[in-house]
A and B are shown apart, each in its own frame.
Chain A
Amino acid sequence: MLLAGETTPREIVESVATAISAENESIGGYLSSDFERALVDAEAANIEKPLGGIPIALKDNINAEDHPCSCASRFLENGYLSPYDATVSARLKEAGAVLYGRTNLDEFAMGSSTENSALQQTRNPHDHDRIPGGSSGGSAAVVAADMAVAALGSDTGGSIRQPASHCGVVGLKPSYGRVSRYGLVAFASSLDQIGPLTKTVEDAALLLQACAGGDKRDSTCLDVDVPDFTAGLQEGVSGMKLGVPREFFADEGLEPEVRERIEGALGKLEAEGAELIEISLPSTSFSVATYYILAPAEASSNLSRYDGVRYGNRIDDGGGVIAMYRGSRARGFGPEVKRRIILGTYVLSSGYSGKYYLRAQKARTLIQQEYREAFRQVDAVVGPVSPAPARRIGEFADDPLQDYLADIYTISANLAGIPGLSVPCGTVEREGRQLPVGLQILGPHLAEATVLRVGGAWEMIRDAE
């Protein structure tokens, strides 16, 4: 449309701004959005480029030069402006995109409801009394509510796929090493990945295309060939082998209607020529426990940088430097961040690291081996993203463990470093509202093209109905 001259980057930015004015007060997906800057960037955009003139929203833990980056934390709320571009921000700009809007998240991406944001409540566009999911809940909500064309999020244990599922949009967590994390505020460095939240699988492929590839600024980013991620989207699933993990459906927590939607989708993929093969991932039941040792351990180390010295909140009552650290962190961090720092410090502490951390690292090996084994038999693994649709806001306010348990189907992809995609596959009714359900597609390491192909095939089936 842009190339045909039917619209202009300016008009797109203006239409996004109109939607933000109308919707953001009730949804709360954006923490900030700078319309004037976006207009300037839109006027300068080169529409010949792959994402020329397209506005993209960023989760507020991804640095973009001169934009805020609050991480939804009191620590960075007041006046922090990024001094540099994250690699993904620079690559989106190179691809012609306009960076417009900073989306809400659980503080430092710790959570799966966006309720842990210290700054704002984000509501699910499908039912304002419910969570959008998290931690990339703002990114999912603004795409679902047509306040953004597309957005980036980050996924440490499901933080792109689960909000995508809850809000009815597409969310892709790339393989570990596919996308540079330089400029992503670190939470758990062996698990974090940046990825897109979009309206269609094709859009997700296009955003991944712009962001993927080696980066000399991130030693964990792999300098390997980047294939054309859109090439297979129309190919269908005929002849593909799709693994259905017994453990993903045996769990008594999986709500019957969610199971029906997923099994319905799998049946249709089978009718289109995919072969469904039952597989076993026996360590699935240990994945949540493994994650909630490893992720807090890494977080406790990564978040030691918030000391009130170089940036962010400083509380100095004249009691010396240690008192300044303690005071700044006490008032800068919210409860979930404090809980995870304490948990992480504990499992790494002398006398306990063998019992917890080392054991979890071994469990991680087993989880990886099971996936590797599975991908000898099948091209991709399919199942639910989340055991239930979006829950009500405040439901687990005093019991964080209940939310942790709902991460069961997403976490193992992060532990194994493999790509995972969530694609909408119908809705279930709760209290008169239709709530989206997502189909999860997992593939071998660096096989984003495969999961996108299955996702594209599912979209074609779904949209033909």
Chain B
Amino acid sequence: MTGREFESRRGFRVPGDGRRVGTESSPAAARRLTSGALLLLLAFCLSPPPARAQLAVRGETVHTMAGRAVTDGVVLVRDGKIERVGPAASVQIPAGYKVVRARVVTPGLIDAHTVVGLSGYLNQPHDQMQLERSAPLQPELRATDAYDARERLVEWLRGFGVTTIHTGHGPGSLVSGQTMIAKTAGESVDEAALVPVAMVAATLGDGGRAEGGRAPGTHAKMFAMLRAELLKAQEYDRKQQAAKEGERPARDLRAEVLARVVRRELPLLVTVHRAHNIVAALRLAKEFNLRLVLDGAAESYLVADQIKAAGVPVIVHPTMFRAAGEAENLSMETAAALRKAGVHVALQSGFEGYVPKTRVVLFEAAAAAANGLSFEEALATVTIDAARLLGVEKRVGSIEAGKDADLALFDGDPFEYTTHVTAVIINGRLVSEEAR
């Protein structure tokens, strides 16, 4: 089943049917409705679903995240892409475009690190696929083999304006597996995936220690094991490159993935909280010339200069993350401190093992906006800066012509507790109109 069929079956948009709060049909669409509603219905039943409606999103304030916010702005959406954006005075809404209004429009939000889709909301063994505990190093585990596009938390995040997530294997073992980048729409992983293999996830701290006398039992051992594995990957890569056609050594799925890491094709996403472990991770990245992305990084404010010097970006822990364990010294102002030091920062919902089963990155950005970041800076951590960090800025993260039409609509300041998300648009489709 295609995504379009799925959306139609669910009763999502077809031209002219939108009599819901916050939306209105353009005059042309209304005429079509009155002149041929029955015909349209008949056609809808008998033939493939019609092409998606073209949309005109009209916002009192449009935060494009590409230049200054536009007052009384219009975003034209055509065939899933942003066609044009600008002030209403200069952007004419073509006939047939369905008009959706909002007080505030932002790019669809990006959660720079989560486990939603792999870690289900029931929290039962059958829906917890973010961590395989049988071995400490399993980079060959693909996120795409585990992502459930229909998981309830995917829909939950989507309802709060989150349209892109970087998700996959979670923290909890030395190398837990791969991550992917997905849209929060689509019925299957193939429909949802934006980048099927995004990063390789590692944990360098207490979370990565094995229990029961198994290795790695200490932080130093974790680094020793990871270094050995990266050396093997370098060797594997060298042999593969040097071999003549038909004489290549047997494929090793694990070494193959780590070879992509040592070739800098895939970043190593390292969940790490203590300052001294962060420094050790920077040392490792330098030794193997890795593309490192720091994750969590509770005490990163202590070593912001070193992180900046290494040119390493940080996906900061949720602003409201629990101050406990290795993250006991976390600060709500870390995103602001790192940004001030010139470090590239994005925010995440992270991993939750109990209640609530996930956080919502909109709320975490809101808390960051109240703790040192400006409104624009906080919004950037969950839009354009997150997109750049994840390498998907050509597709998502800002409202610019040619980019995917992923938008979040609000009835007030997006960060205020009492504001609602009034509509969410992904790939040019209205996927949620329930006020949340």
Binding partners A and B: no
